[in-house]
Amino acid sequence: MLLPLLQKLISIPSQNPMGRDVTGPDFLEGRLADYVESFFRDLGVRYERTEIAPGRPNVVAYFKSPGAQRTVMLDAHLDTVPVDGMTIPPYTPTIEGGKIYGRGSCDIKGGMAAMLTAFARLVKEKPGGAANVLMTCACDEEHTQIGIEAFCEAWTAGSDNPFRRRPDVALIAEPTNLDAVVAHRGATRWRIITRGRACHSSEPRNGTNAIYRMARVLTELEQFAEIVRGINPPHRLVGPATLSVGRITGGQSVNVVPDFCVIEIDRRVLPGEDPTSVIEQLGAWLRPRLDFEIEMEPPYIVSRALGDDANGPLADELLSVVEGVAGPHKKIGVPYGTHASTIASYGVPSVVFGPGSILQAHTKDEWLEIDELELATEAYYRFCLR
């Protein structure tokens, strides 16, 4: 069941547009949500589908174990990054040399297939003493994380509805090579705009070039990107804070002096760092160095960091299970972000765990080791038995 299931998941496109103005059947999570919904329906479990945004559903299912003392949340996101630049067929899962290739194989349809398989085994075998399991499949993890926010915001203390009741612990599927991620950075992303005055490019001195102005901003940001690494002490597991400019747009035509230019900032924040204050931190440093005004839009992403102050016992329990399946593994920190920080902010101890390496995620020939896929599936299942 496991490998055919992953092949099916890979074959269903679920690209996240990542803020781009793109449409078509390869984009958004609706088709994959249809399949996951049918998977839960065929199992005969209680499930729920909620449209978070047009074409962007969340799907959640619940396994109730008689006499269970806790509820484990298994979380895997529905979306993948775009397929631009891939050198293999993104939706044709290919097995070769003990690996399975295709977009999402590593991030995170492999982890999703492992969780779905473990969940189905619990439902079919109904082992005594198992935990209740809440299986969440959220939209839009790769960009603004509206899906996981919607799940968490729906939790209400004392609710009889298992989809509205906060779980006790959470495992989040991401490629960790079967280690337990207990800390990671967060991310704040926003846009900076420079304005100018348009005119005909044959007489550029009659206008004000917004792109030239942005060039000055970028020079200052390159300097600040080094400064920000030392503003706070590096975290022992995730390293220093960082800043990067990832996108620039501006102008309307080559023969018109541009009256606007826009860049997008990615600021990675550390555990304990306020992810909203970093915008004004940059503004306070940048503005005195410029002789023109800049506009800083409100952030379109504020993703918290995951600290390791509340998830140690959960990680220890998970690693004891992993050791029995795949040998000794360890607690680690990573620089990228996940759903774990959002879930943890609602008071649920959370650890990131799954098959594959982050080095293969988002790549032009994305792949996953099949052996790790099988080991992760067994680890998820055994953890839910406890």
For 264-299, how does the pLDDT look when each residue is reduced to its tens digit (9 = 90+)?
999 999 999 999 999 999 999 999 999 999 999 999
91 in the same domain as 13 = yes
pLDDT beyond 90 at 158: no
61 and 140 Cβ atoms separated by less than 8 Å: no
Distance, in Å, from the CA atom of 292 to the CA atom of 208, rounded to the nearest integer, reads 11
For 197-248, how does the pLDDT look when each residue is reduced to its tens digit (9 = 90+)?
999 999 999 999 999 999 999 999 999 999 999 999 999 999 999 999 999 9
Which phi and psi angles does 259 have, rounded to 5°? Answer: -100, 5
112 in the same domain as 31 = yes
β 99-101/367-369 pair status? antiparallel
109 in the same domain as 168 = yes
pLDDT of res. 203? 98
pLDDT of res. 157? 84
Tell me the mean pLDDT in the region 374-379. 98
Beta bridge mates, 189:
266, 301
pLDDT beyond 90 at 175: yes
Q: How many CB atoms lie within 10 A of CB 351?
A: 27
Residue 212 tokens, joined: 């030239």
For 308-341, how does the pLDDT look when each residue is reduced to its tens digit (9 = 90+)?
999 999 999 999 999 999 999 999 999 999 999 9
Look at residues 329, 294, 320 and name the one whose alpha carbon lies nearest to residue 218. 294
Q: What domain range is 55 assigned to?
A: 2-184+305-384
pLDDT of res. 209? 98
Residue 170 tokens, joined: 């959470």
132 in the same domain as 28 = yes
pLDDT of res. 228? 97
351 in the same domain as 312 = yes
How many domains does the chain divide into? Answer: 2
6 in the same domain as 139 = yes
pLDDT beyond 90 at 386: no
229 in the same domain as 314 = no
Of 303, 335, 358, the last residue of a domain is 303
Torsion of the alpha carbons at 277, 282, 288 and 294, rounded to the nearest 10: -100
Of 268, 288, 303, the last residue of a domain is 303
Look at residues 137, 151, 5 and name the one whose alpha carbon lies nearest to residue 59. 137
Tell me the mean pLDDT in the region 67-94. 97
239 in the same domain as 119 = no
161 in the same domain as 28 = yes
Domain with residue 224: its CATH number is 3.30.70.360
Amino acid letter for position 167: P
Tell me the mean pLDDT in the region 184-190. 97
Domain with residue 127: its CATH number is 3.40.630.10
Of 303, 330, 350, the last residue of a domain is 303
221 in the same domain as 179 = no
For 113-134, how does the pLDDT look when each residue is reduced to its tens digit (9 = 90+)?
999 999 999 999 999 999 999 9
270 in the same domain as 205 = yes
For 37-58, how does the pLDDT look when each residue is reduced to its tens digit (9 = 90+)?
999 999 999 999 999 999 999 9
pLDDT of res. 34? 98
313 in the same domain as 294 = no
Distance, in Å, from the CA atom of 289 to the CA atom of 218, rounded to the nearest integer, reads 12
